[in-house]
């Protein structure tokens, strides 16, 4: 809520998101790569640095791979929907000392309208994304699979794949579905022997749990927050197990995926009392800042 104009429509801005215009490939290996990129796109761990500490992800500016006309980050944005990616707040490499925010592009728009050619044969998208992560945001070096996955995900965004509905509601199920997809990608990377990428995929799932946690605010929902945080601890343990090269991680992820259905049902039952409820969200948005 701090990264949006004061007069933003709370329901349109925080209770609904654009629908994703994703055309996943049929080939299993290519489909896994797209899912790896999709999950990486949704976690601040990818960016690291000041952006990661602030909780920014690729999706913060590109909601569901689209744009974000309400994005307004103090000192980085000009008008809503813009960002200065050469601001020294986020980049020690590309900070130029010039206030030059640019409109945030819709990554699902016609490819010819985007800044960087996306054809794999041109080999321009991967170096561009690498520079975004490591230079524009001072992030850590991404694994080969993560960099390839991000490029494949962006290539798979296509205006022709947009659903009929322009937006969809933000719900517990919306975030948990993302978490499940990230964990399926983690399982694929575990099978491929790529523990660092699998750890990032689990981080993406944990990021989605964090977004659920923050909407279950207030003492009346403390039991629900405990359940979310218990689910998060299990994923943290899976990450630790991957770092220690324990062989039981896939089984632990499968158990988490099974148990997540019950967690979703319990949380959804309490969602009307949380900030997933548009009315409560509107009230919270109106009192989020003085004035």
144-181 pLDDT per residue, tens: 999 999 999 999 999 999 999 999 999 999 999 999 99
Cα separation of 200 and 69, whole Å? 28
CA distances, 179 to each of 36, 159, 264, 275 (Å): 12, 24, 11, 19
Query: How would you classify the pairing of strands 82-83 and 16-18?
Result: unpaired
The pLDDT of residue 291 = 40
pLDDT in tens, 225-275: 999 999 999 999 999 999 999 999 999 999 999 999 999 999 999 999 999
Q: Which of 204, 197, 149, 199 is nearest to 182 (CA)?
A: 204
Specify burial of residue 257 (Cβ count, 10 A radius: 0-12, 13-18, 19+): middle
Helices (H), the chain: 10, 28-40, 49-54, 58-61, 125-131, 144-156, 172-191, 195-215, 222-243, 249-270, 278-286
- Torsion angle of C-alpha atoms 139, 140, 144, 148, degrees rounded to 10: -10
| Phi, psi (degrees; rounded to nearest 5) at 167 | -140, 170
Flag whether pLDDT at 88 surpasses 80.
no
Tell me the HSE value of 206 on the side-chain side, using a 13 A CA sphere.
22
The whole-chain average pLDDT of the chain stands at: 92
The pLDDT of residue 95 = 65
Instruction: Indicate if the alpha-carbon torsion angle 163, 164, 167, 171 is positive or negative.
Output: negative
Q: CB neighbours (10 Å) of residue 247?
A: 8
The pLDDT of residue 1 = 81
The pLDDT of residue 67 = 92
The class level of CATH for 10-95+103-161 reads mainly alpha
The pLDDT of residue 30 = 97
């Amino acid at each position: 809520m701090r990264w949006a104009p004061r007069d933003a429509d709370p329901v349109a801005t925080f209770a609904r998101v654009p629908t994703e215009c994703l055309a996943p490939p049929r080939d299993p290996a290519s489909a896994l790569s797209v899912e790896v990129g999709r999950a990486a796109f949704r976690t601040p761990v990818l960016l690291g640095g000041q952006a990661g500490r602030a909780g920014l992800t690729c999706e913060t500016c590109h909601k569901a791979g689209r744009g974000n006309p309400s994005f307004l980050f103090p000192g980085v944005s000009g008008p809503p929907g813009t960002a200065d990616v050469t601001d020294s707040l986020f980049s020690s490499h590309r900070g130029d000392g010039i206030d030059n925010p640019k409109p945030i592009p819709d990554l699902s728009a016609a490819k010819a309208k985007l800044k960087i050619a996306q054809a794999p044969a041109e080999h321009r998208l991967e170096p561009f994304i690498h520079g975004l992560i490591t230079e524009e945001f001072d992030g850590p070096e991404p694994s080969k699979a993560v960099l390839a996955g991000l490029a494949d995900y962006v290539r798979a965004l296509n205006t022709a794949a947009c659903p009929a509905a322009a937006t969809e509601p933000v719900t517990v199920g919306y975030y948990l579905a993302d978490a499940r997809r990230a964990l399926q990608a983690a399982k694929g990377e575990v099978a491929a022997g790529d523990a660092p990428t699998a750890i990032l995929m689990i981080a993406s799932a944990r990021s989605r749990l964090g977004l659920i946690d923050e909407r279950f605010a207030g003492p009346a929902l403390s039991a629900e927050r405990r359940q979310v945080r218990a689910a998060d601890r299990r994923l943290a343990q899976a990450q630790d197990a991957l770092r220690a090269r324990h062989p039981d991680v896939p089984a632990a992820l499968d158990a988490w995926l099974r148990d997540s259905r019950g967690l979703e049902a319990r949380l959804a039952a309490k969602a009307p009392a949380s900030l997933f409820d548009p009315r409560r969200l509107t009230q919270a948005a109106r009192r989020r800042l003085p004035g």
